[in-house]
Amino acid sequence: CHLIHYLRLSHHLIVLNYLICTFDKLKSVSSEHINITDAVFDGVEVRVFEPPGKQDEMLKRSVVYIHGGGWALASARTSLYNNLCRIMAESLNAVVVSVEYRLVPEVCFPEQFHDALRATKHFLQPDVLAEYSVDPNRIAISGDSAGGNLAAAVCQQLSKDEHLTIRPKLQALIYPVLQAFDFNTPSYQQNMNMPVLPRYVMINYWIDYFNGNHDLAHSLVINNHTALDVGQALSFRGRLNWTSLLPSSFKKNYKPVVQTTGNAEIIQEIPALLDVRAVPLLAENETLQLQPKTYILTCENDVLRDDGVMYAKRLENAGVEVTLDHFDDCFHGCMIFTIWPTDFSAGVQTRNSYIKWLDENL
């Protein structure tokens, strides 16, 4: 009955998102502080936020931002993300490019990844940066939740592209979703019924992203897809060993859930479960060594807390400079809730900390 309940909740969220996006999408209305325009970067829609240029001013910093919503919800043009990107552009005096990637169910993996990658690579071209007066040495790629997933995956891909002359200086990931290998990390166990993002809802987002069968949800919950007898998962196991990657304050008394016998057919049916473009936490160390200086924000009351903490530790182990910004009293998705009627102190607190780090490091 829990599964039925959360499937209904997931469906409800999609309907709600349709209504929100239908009535809440904002036109690109500029103000005296920020010029907002809609553009297309290599076939991908983007919204660009530009502070007014001043005479003799140096080139500006820039952030490529990828919104969250389980690869299925929200939009760069809804008021919540429009407001976040406008405030970022004002606070940082930076050009912010918000990527309007296509969503489930119109497209599934890997199309969201390809959209985000194409738009980012287009923007990183020297002539495009010059058009927007952006300093090629001061660009960050960032995103929240599923957008943090796409930002991390895009950053990994860019780091391996030998033809690129310009790469991001920083990546900033806000409560990112980074793996579908283990749905029983301590944070998944601790927050399995937490509002906003219960475990079953997150699993259903993954299934929808991969265009998979929802009948597999229960098997995923108990980690049947990565049981000890599933050979495809064996090489990845060491890259996501939370018993060694998490501090004791997060592990608490939780025990790993590792099935001896599982269901190898799940990986055969949904190979993307082990595709690093979808699950960046499973990337090899050689790729992690190439990543730029990184900021990761995590919240205690969030199933995804340990995804971010483990990625921070793996990057740190690979020699990357990492700032892990953890909030004990905050919840998944809080950073976009800063305007009435959902103006929460948690949103302002996390947003200010995130922007402060970008300001000091970009």
∠ CA(75), CA(73), CA(358), 5° rounding?
Answer: 55
Per-residue pLDDT at 5: 43
Indicate whether 298 belongs to any domain: yes
CATH number at residue 43: 3.40.50.1820
Residue 269 confidence (pLDDT): 97
241 falls within a domain: no
The pLDDT assigned to 80 comes to 93
Q: Which of 128, 163, 159, 161 lies closest to 141, judged by CA? A: 159
Q: Which tokens is 149 given?
A: 């997933």
Cα angle 205, 99, 196; round to 5? 35
Look at the chain and report how many structural domains it folds into: 1
The closest of 189, 182, 299 to 240, measured between CA atoms, is 182
Contact at 8 Å (CB) between 19 and 78? no
* Per-residue pLDDT at 52: 87
What pLDDT is attached to residue 3? Answer: 46
Amino acid 17: pLDDT: 52
Which residue type does 311 have? Y
**Exposure letters 303-314 (e unless 16+ CB within 10 A, then b):** bbbbbbbbbbbb
Question: The domain containing residue 119 runs over which residues?
Answer: 27-180+272-361
Q: Residue 250 pairs with which residues in a beta bridge?
A: none
Alpha helices in 50-132 (DSSP H): 79-92, 111-123, 126-131
In a domain, 220, yes or no: no
Domain assignment present for residue 82? The answer is yes
To the query of whether residue 24 is one of the catalytic residues in this protein, the response is no
Catalytic option among 62, 145, 159, 187: 145
Catalytic residue among 144, 302, 306, 307: 302
The closest of 275, 189, 287, 203 to 233, measured between CA atoms, is: 275
Instruction: Say whether 302 is catalytic.
Output: yes
Question: CA–CA separation, 69 vs 322, rounded Å?
Answer: 25
CA atoms within 13 A on the CB side of 209: 30
- Residue 63 belongs to what H/E stretch? strand 60-66
In a domain, 166, yes or no: yes
Question: Residue 97 pairs with which residues in a beta bridge?
Answer: 48, 64
Ordered per-residue pLDDT tens for the chain, 362 residues? 444 444 544 454 555 455 445 446 666 666 678 999 999 999 999 999 999 876 567 899 999 999 999 999 999 999 999 999 999 999 999 999 999 999 999 999 999 999 999 999 999 999 999 999 999 999 999 999 999 999 999 999 999 999 999 999 999 999 999 999 999 999 999 999 999 999 999 999 999 999 999 999 999 999 999 999 999 999 999 999 999 999 999 999 999 999 999 999 999 999 999 999 999 999 999 999 999 999 999 999 999 999 999 999 999 999 999 999 999 999 999 998 887 777 788 999 999 999 999 999 99
The pTM score is: 0.93
Cis amide bond preceding 51, omega within 30: no
For residue 172, being part of any structural domain is answered with yes
Contacts of range 232-236, beta carbons closer than 8 Å, 24 or more positions apart? 232/264, 232/267, 232/271, 232/274, 233/181, 233/267, 233/274, 236/181, 236/274, 236/282
What's the confidence (pLDDT) of residue 21? Answer: 52
338 is a domain residue: yes
Query: Among this protein's residues, is 114 annotated catalytic?
Result: no
* pLDDT for the residue 20: 46
DSSP secondary structure, 207-242, as one string: HHHTT--GGGHHHHHTTGGG-TT-HHHHTTGGGG-H
> How many Cβ atoms sit within 10 Å of the Cβ of residue 256?
13
Residue 229 maps to a domain: no
- At 289 the three-state DSSP class reads coil
Residue 343 confidence (pLDDT): 79
Of the residues 67, 114, 225, 332, only one is catalytic, namely 332
DSSP letters spanning 306-346 = HHHHHHHHHHHHTT--EEEEEEEEEETTGGG--STTS--HH
